[in-house]
Amino acid sequence: MLSTKFTVMTKEDVDRKWWEIGDFFRRNSLWMLMYCTGCCAIELPPAMTSAYDMERLGMGPMATPRQADILLVSGYLSLKTLRRLIYTYEQMSEPKYVVGLGSCTINGGIYHDSHAVINQLNQYIPVDVYVAGCMPNTEAVMNGFVDLMGLIKTKKANGWKDYHERNEWYKANQKFALGEVKIHDEFHE
Amino acid sequence: MTNSMNNVEFISNLVENSYKIVKKEVVDQYQVSFVVEKEDVHSLLSFLKTNGWKQLSYLSAIDWIDDNKFELVYIVFNWDKPVYIQIRTLIDRDNPVMNSILPVFPGCKYYEREAHEFFGIKFPGNPDFEKQLILENWDDMPPLRKDFDPRAYSDSKFAKREYTEDFVNLNGQKSKQKERELQKENIIKVRNGGKK
């Protein structure tokens, strides 16, 4: 009697398979939370609408952090905004990816010597893809999204794992720049 | 009310008859500026309020570091006559204290907090002036003073990205700089109708 040879997969193998299956669906259906902090946000309307049509890549906008996959940081971040951004990032469900638009998130851009604006975003939260330019044109933005899909496919978009592994380092950086991450808001307390 | 210059003359007469004006400047037909003594500000503002300038548009400060003075600017606005009035006054820079105008214009509450936050001017009379408004957990001197160095603060507080090389040529490509310059010249030539 013929029978297929059956080997028992180890738990790691099963997990890896499921992650590959999950990543396949995940990268073809990305929901993006747009945190429009700076002027690069003006590149998003053409990316979303009929000019470049983000939806043909399977991407869509999402209104809440808990249901979004990508956190899109478009532009400079003041200390006040960074506090809210860290809140938002930590609320997102895993796996989560961060895309930084514009030179402000890379090295401070034209605000590199401001008292209120941070210089490098990846000191405070892990960034998977940077799109350079001041501001990047829409082709570059779309290319950044395709790059992110490639990174998910090759299992290199590991920013959220890095946030677990080096959590103390990120927290120390956040504390050094912000003093205290907790938001004290007189209008809501 | 058709001729706006009449409005400026009207308000100039009104103020100059009752108050001692250090300096007057007519910016244009919609703006006039008076520099007054520190003691006159409150009575002048309430006088203007009774005469129709009932909205405080803005209150801010200017740092004249060479004269060792802060200049406070109160801008009031009238809904019937199209004239903005700026009331300016100079206060000491080493001990900057100005009584709050909260009884006259309650809306000054937040402007005074902002001025305290960015210039360190104290406003006794306003119970909240020391509360933070825009900056959160600020730990240095007020940042809009002229002797504050934003670059030094940024260098000490925010990590800078370090570049080991200015330019990396990945696969030994030839420089296209000369071609680009020629192309640019051509474009300018065409744009100017063949002339350089």
Contact A30, A59 (CB under 8 A): yes
Burial of B68 (0-12, 13-18, 19+ CB in 10 A): exposed
Range of the domain at A53: 30-178
Q: Tens digit of pLDDT for each residue in A65-76?
A: 999 999 999 889
* Chain A neighbors of B137, CB-CB under 8 A: 178-180
> Domain count of chain A?
1
Contact B139 A116 (CB under 8 A): no
What pLDDT is recorded for position B195?
64
Sheet holding B21-28, edge to edge: B21-28, B31-36, B84-92, B69-77, B55-64
Residue A84 lies in a domain: yes
Q: Tens digit of pLDDT for each residue in B42-57?
A: 999 999 899 888 899 9
The set of residues, in sequence order, having a beta carbon less than 8 Å from that of B67 and lying 6+ positions away, is B90
Give the A window 65-124 contacts with B, CB below 8 Å: 79-80, 83, 106-108, 112-120, 123
Contact B35, B21 (CB under 8 A): yes
Q: Where are the alpha helices (DSSP H) in A8-157?
A: 11-27, 44-48, 79-91, 102-107, 138-153
Residue A127 lies in a domain: yes
Diameter of chain A by CA atoms?
78
C-alpha A4/C-alpha A26 separation (Å) is 32
The whole-angstrom distance between B132's CA and the closest CA on chain A is 9
Q: Is residue B14's pLDDT more than 90?
A: no
Residue A23 lies in a domain: no
What is the rounded (10 degree) CA torsion for B168, B172, B178, B183? -90
Range of the domain at B68: 4-191
Where does the pLDDT of residue B70 fall: very low under 50, low under 70, confident under 90, or very high at 90 and above? very high
* Chain B neighbors of A127, CB-CB under 8 A: none
Q: Tens digit of pLDDT for each residue in A98-121?
A: 999 989 999 888 898 888 899 999
Residue A120 lies in a domain: yes
Residue B154 lies in a domain: yes
Contact B159 A107 (CB under 8 A): no
Q: Is residue B3's pLDDT more than 70?
A: no
Residue B62 lies in a domain: yes
Q: CATH no. for residue B162?
A: 3.30.460.80
The pTM for the full model equals 0.80
Q: What is the ipTM of this complex?
A: 0.80
The set of residues, in sequence order, having a beta carbon less than 8 Å from that of A17 and lying 6+ positions away, is A9
C-alpha B34/C-alpha B79 separation (Å) is 20
Q: Give A16 or B16, the one with higher predicted confidence.
A: A16
Contact A115 B134 (CB under 8 A): no
What pLDDT is recorded for position B2?
54
Other Cβ atoms less than 10 A from the Cβ of B103: the count is 12
Residue A158 lies in a domain: yes
Q: Tens digit of pLDDT for each residue in A128-181?
A: 999 998 889 999 999 999 999 999 999 888 889 999 999 999 999 998 888 888
Residue A9 lies in a domain: no
Q: Which of B154, B160, B161 sits opposite A115 (nearest CB)?
A: B154
Residue B196 lies in a domain: no
Residue A105 lies in a domain: yes
Where does the pLDDT of residue B80 fall: very low under 50, low under 70, confident under 90, or very high at 90 and above? confident
> Domain count of chain B?
1
Could you tell me the CA-to-CA distances from B188 to B157, B178, B180, B196 in Å, in that order? 45, 15, 12, 7
Sheet holding A59-61, edge to edge: A59-61, A30-35, A70-74, A97-101, A129-131
Assigned token pair, B170: 């990945």
Q: Is residue A12's pLDDT more than 80?
A: yes
Strands A70-74 and A30-35: parallel
Residue A189 lies in a domain: no
Q: Is residue B121's pLDDT more than 70?
A: yes
Q: Looking at chain B, which residue has its C-alpha nearest residue A117? A: B154
Assigned token pair, A33: 């939370």
Q: CATH no. for residue A128?
A: 3.40.50.12280
